[in-house]
């Protein structure tokens, strides 16, 4: 009899488009742990790329989805549902006086952000968006054009017009790039795919002041770094710099597809009836999951835990850097952690898997750790010890 994994691999090869190359088959998750088909357990410090921020199968999310699925799943936005404004209110009350548009993914939320900026700019003859080198905003054509990492655009030209890129963190370069056609500046407060690169507070303050002075919108992509990941609900709150609009997705549904475009109240009338839409955006089911996520983050002390465990893990990784010369630097903010290695970190991942841990890479040579916000100290200790073991093997393999 063919093994469960062999059968799954065969079906993938025959019927699924080969745009990914997954190696592990996961069948179950609970908290910070996932299991493969053989019963082997893995400490999950990838959280589905910053999606399962409450851990796998969090009871509040499971209950909310189960309950709502038996009442009303979908209506379309031609009808009201109770959960959509409930979630929009909860988000605003997390500290951003903004209105929300609901979508289903990060790319779709960012499409909304781009359309919002263009619509606002169209009244003043402005359409250009200045984005950042090494940024990542999604795989749709507009979000690819906004993405600074050009490798993702290869083969999909011609590029959509209206985007320029400047070096992230270089204020003078940004200032020089602004023209009378500039409508908006778009950035991730902490670049995720680019290698866990946090902006400095000073830089974001300068960018905010420049946008105010020039009458330009400031847009934050908080798809990866938002929803509590930095130890504040919104990423911008970690910097004290408020954008005019922001996008969220990934963790806001803790695995249930949900994206959000939020725009500050003075801009609430830019997108009006008929100017933007989504069939699935903001279903009663998705918003039930979103409400459970916001309540859990805000009421269960997860932001504080994120800050505490983030510092603890960072200190542990910095101690490893003394032991292992292949570690060049540890960059972190909250539980968004990047370990800069001296070479491509990709081959470290299977070694970690072998030892029972899941992690990610980012940028060129970065090991990326994104554990859930409710990760425990014991789990952080286990992670450090598994990373130490993996590095010993990796370093000797690479000699």
Chain positions 182 to 241 lying near ligand PLP, rule: CB under 6 A, are 188, 192-193, 221, 223-224
The DSSP bridge partners found for residue 163 are: 129
Name which position in 90, 137, 229, 331 contacts ligand PLP (CB under 6 A).
Answer: 137
Q: Name which position in 29, 112, 138, 281 contacts ligand PLP (CB under 6 A).
A: 138
User: Which residue from 298, 312, 290, 356 is spatially nearest to 51, judged by alpha carbons?
Assistant: 290
Q: Give yes or no for residue 105 binding ligand PLP (CB under 6 A).
A: yes
- DSSP string of 278-334, one letter each residue: -SSTT-HHHHHHHHHHHHHHHHTTHHHHHHHHHHHHHHHHHHHHHH-TTEEEEEEET
**Applying CB under 6 A, which part among 132-140, 200-208, 351-359, 382-390 lies near ligand PLP?**
132-140
One character per residue 27-66, x = contact with ligand PLP (rule: CB under 6 A):
----------------------x-----------------
The one among 45, 116, 120, 136 contacting ligand PLP by CB under 6 A: 136
Radius of gyration, CA atoms only, the chain: 21
Compute the distance between CA of residue 27 and CA of residue 31 in angstroms, rounded to an integer. Answer: 14
Closest CA to 121 of 185, 173, 73: 185
107 lies in the binding site for ligand PLP (CB under 6 A) = yes
Report if residue 110 touches ligand PLP, rule: CB under 6 A: yes
Q: Binding residue for ligand PLP (CB under 6 A) from 114, 249, 297, 386?
A: 249
Residue 130: its H or E element: strand 128-132
Give φ, ψ of 36 to 5 degrees: -95, -175
With contacts defined by CB under 6 A, name the span among 135-143, 210-218, 370-378, 379-387 that binds ligand PLP: 135-143
Token pair 């370990």 is found at 339
CB of 159 to ligand PLP, least distance (A): 17
Give residues in contact with ligand PLP (CB under 6 A). Answer: 49, 105-107, 110, 136-138, 188, 192-193, 221, 223-224, 249
């Amino acid at each position: 009899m063919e093994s469960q994994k062999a059968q799954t691999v065969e079906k993938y090869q025959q019927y699924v488009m080969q745009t990914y190359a997954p190696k592990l088959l996961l069948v179950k998750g609970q908290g910070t742990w996932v299991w493969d088909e053989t019963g082997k357990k893995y400490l999950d410090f990838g959280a589905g790329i910053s999606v399962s921020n409450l851990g796998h199968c969090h009871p509040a999310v499971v209950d909310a989805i189960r309950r709502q699925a038996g009442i009303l799943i979908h209506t379309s936005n031609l009808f009201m549902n109770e959960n959509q404004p409930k979630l929009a209110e909860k988000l605003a009350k997390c500290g951003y006086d903004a209105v929300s548009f609901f979508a289903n993914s990060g790319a779709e939320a960012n499409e909304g952000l781009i359309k919002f900026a263009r619509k606002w700019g169209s009244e003043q003859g402005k359409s250009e968006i200045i984005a950042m080198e090494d940024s990542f905003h999604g795989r749709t054509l507009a979000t690819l054009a906004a993405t600074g990492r050009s490798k993702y655009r290869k083969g999909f030209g011609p590029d959509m017009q209206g985007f320029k890129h400047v070096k992230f963190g270089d204020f003078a370069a940004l200032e020089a790039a602004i023209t009378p056609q500039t409508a908006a500046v778009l950035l991730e407060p902490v670049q995720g795919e680019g290698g866990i690169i946090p902006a400095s507070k000073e830089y974001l303050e300068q960018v905010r002041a420049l946008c105010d002075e020039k009458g330009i919108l400031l847009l934050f992509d908080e798809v990866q770094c938002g929803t509590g990941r930095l130890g504040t609900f919104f990423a911008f709150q970690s910097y004290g710099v408020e954008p005019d609009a922001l996008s969220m997705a990934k963790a806001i549904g803790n695995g249930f597809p949900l994206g959000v475009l939020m725009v500050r109240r003075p801009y609430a009338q830019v997108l009006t009836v008929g100017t933007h839409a989504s069939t699935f955006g903001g279903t009663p089911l998705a918003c039930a999951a979103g409400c459970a996520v916001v309540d859990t983050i805000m009421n269960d002390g997860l932001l504080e835990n994120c800050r505490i465990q983030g510092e603890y893990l960072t200190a542990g990784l910095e101690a490893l850097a003394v032991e292992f010369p292949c570690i060049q630097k540890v960059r972190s903010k909250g539980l968004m952690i990047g370990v800069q290695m001296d070479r491509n970190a990709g081959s470290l991942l299977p070694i970690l898997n072998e030892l029972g841990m899941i992690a990610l890479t980012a940028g060129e040579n970065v090991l990326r750790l994104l554990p859930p916000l409710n990760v425990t100290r014991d789990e952080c200790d286990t992670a450090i010890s598994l990373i130490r073991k993996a590095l010993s093997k990796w370093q000797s393999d690479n000699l």
